[in-house]
Amino acid sequence: MTYNFGAGPCILPNEVFKQASQAVLEFNPTGLSILEISHRTPEFESVVDETVRLVKELLNVPAGYSVLFLQGGASLQFAMVPMNLLGDNQTASYLDTGVWANKAIKEAKIIGNVNVVASSKSENYTFIPKDFQIPEDSAYFHYTSNNTIYGTELMETPKTNVPLVCDMSSDIFSRTINVADFDLIYAGAQKNMGPAGVTLVIVKDEILGKIDRKLPSMLDYKIHIDGGSMYNTPPVFSIYVSMLNLRWLKSKGGVSEIEKENISKAEALYREIDRNPLFKGTCRTEDRSRMNVCFVMENPELEKPFLKFTEERNIVGLKGHRSVGGFRASLYNALPITSVHVLIDAMQDFAEKHKK
């Protein structure tokens, strides 16, 4: 058995893999593969409809919001958000908490005026800035809820009277949120929702259409809403597997139940990091992510031996991002707590082996 702690594309439930692999051979009783079925058929339209319903049900999406399945990943949303929401004479406010937040800022600056309300870049993004002020005349406030590279997560929704936009690519569906607090949420699927190739957007309808800017059709949220996420050929397979994965999440009791599991997984691993003399965390305790647990060795010379030690135990995906080093254990929804215990056992055995 392989224990996959990869940051993404990441682990999905085995039953989802089995169902998806069967659909590659034949999707329902159509005689066709899910990879060749037309997106305009009633069979696939029902897949999109069910996936929208599952998103709305699992996240308690209120009336007045549209659910979209787009392409281009969160990276395209870095540009689409300001193109649709930031007027020529307005300023958008951003919180800089990591590489992806910084990339979003960079793209927004191409479109219009940007105000960075706070940043933790000077300390290598090891914490979430606190007590920042969001100007009340901001076109919107944008933040990244979970920072996969540095292992920080903003659990509390910022309080503001301006439209709130959030990149939830790596923690959506992992914990309960109040969608009504947000005006636009976007998330690449390849962490907790499904495979790479589809991007979820949840947008409050009333915030659209207020910018006097001509937009290319593919970059206009309203056109995608009017087209039911089918203005162009959608990522059929990615949407289908997302539907299967959301069914699985619903069968487990939904987001509130998976959140309990995610808390248990993260607490167990952080407890071992803090207890084990060979390891230490990389970010402030109060800002630790439940999804991406980042840590290093007290003795850097032991990092390669430990990585080899874990790989011999079929633990994969543990190597930290190249900009941080060390290790990163991603604890997404489909990772069972038994895998966390396997990693903890490896950490303890390695420590015993290298006891002074």
- Among 318, 243, 249, CA closest to 2: 318
Three-class SS of 116-156 = EEEECHHHCCCCCCCCCCCCCCCCCEEEECEECCCCEECCC
List the catalytic residues. Answer: 100, 167, 191
CA distance 228 to 58: 20
Which sign, positive or negative, has the C-alpha torsion 142, 93, 111, 206?
Answer: positive
Quickly list H helices, the chain.
14-25, 42-59, 73-85, 99-111, 221-226, 236-251, 255-275, 303-311, 337-353
CA distance 191 to 12: 9
**Phi–psi pair at 149, nearest 5 degrees:** -75, -40
Query: Does residue 12 come out as left (phi exceeding 0), alpha (psi in the -120 to 50 range) or beta?
Result: beta
For the record, the structure tokens of 92 come out as: 């958008």
Residue 224 Cα distances to 36, 71, 172, 228, 248, angstroms: 22, 11, 21, 6, 27
Q: DSSP characters for 236-299?
A: HHHHHHHHHHHHHHHHTT-HHHHHHHHHHHHHHHHHHHHH-TTEEESS-GGGB-SSEEEEEESS
CA distance 243 to 54: 8
Residue type, 185: I
The answer to whether residues 176 and 262 touch, using CB atoms and an 8 Å cutoff, is no
Residue type, 51: T
